[in-house]
Amino acid sequence: MIFDTHAHYTSRRFDGHRDEVLDSLPAQGVCGVVECGVDLATSRAALALAETRPWVWAAAGVHPESLIEDDASTVYEFHGDWRAELAAIEPLYGDPRVVAVGECGLDHHWPVPEDAQLALFEAELAAAQEHSLPILVHDREAHAETYALLKRYRPRGILHAFSGSADDALWIARQGMLLGFGGALTFKNARRAVEAVAALSLENIVLETDCPYMAPEPFRGKECHSGMIRFTAQKVADIKQVPLEEVLRITEQNARALLGV
């Protein structure tokens, strides 16, 4: 059974066919999805979506890119005051359908003010500790700062779309976090991700889509959905030289144990 630990079905790209896509997933073997918020508005939408289907859960948080995106509630509602937005998000952490803090983290690919995103991420790490929730971490071209905070806070959670080295993967796993791999693992230039999967135990790995983005080969560039995880799982199976069913079973168990679902 497929457990997608990182999805964005509330994205506008699913407008007009969201229910059709979601309703098709159980027949494709999907048994679990974590819908991730990136600001207050999408965190509320993630929870509303989770309430429509028993196999969908929500994560609530503020993504670093939301600090600069005009269509993020961080900007249009809170005018960049992420502290006020986090205070508005905090009551969501008491809802049983909200199983993680996130998506949150650091991003040096886009021109997000570094001081603000560092302070925001640290506040969300503290919130995860306070509410005894795992955290879903975004790390894009920000390994040094992300790793420093992970070492300081030692959270439970998932390092989403892992893009570091095999050595990095091993110490992060030893610290107790899981490593998330999605469609990018199947790309021809995925050498580092392949090396990381080879070095890790299956007990340290979870699968994800980041849908509607990052569709695996042979669907690269197309709209992604949770059923496509089967292709990522097959790549993991090939690397580890184990049956596909074993990869799906163990990664599902890892996700459920972490999220408590």
Residue ranges for the binding site? 6, 8, 103, 138, 160, 210
Handedness of CA 146, 151, 157, 163 (dihedral sign): positive
The span from the CA of 50 to the CA of 153, in Å, is 28
Tokens of 176: 């107790």
Q: Which residues does 234 contact at the CB level (< 8 Å), separation at least 6?
A: 244, 247
Residue ranges for the binding site for a divalent metal cation? 6, 8, 103, 138, 160, 210
- Nearest Cα residue to 231 out of 208, 202, 256, 255: 208
Phi, psi torsion values for 198, nearest 5 degrees: -60, -35
Handedness of CA 37, 231, 169, 65 (dihedral sign): negative
Contact of 228 with 5, CB cutoff 8 Å? no
The helix (run of H) or strand (run of E) holding residue 99 is strand 98-107
What's the CA dihedral at 138, 193, 4, 127 to 10 degrees?
-30
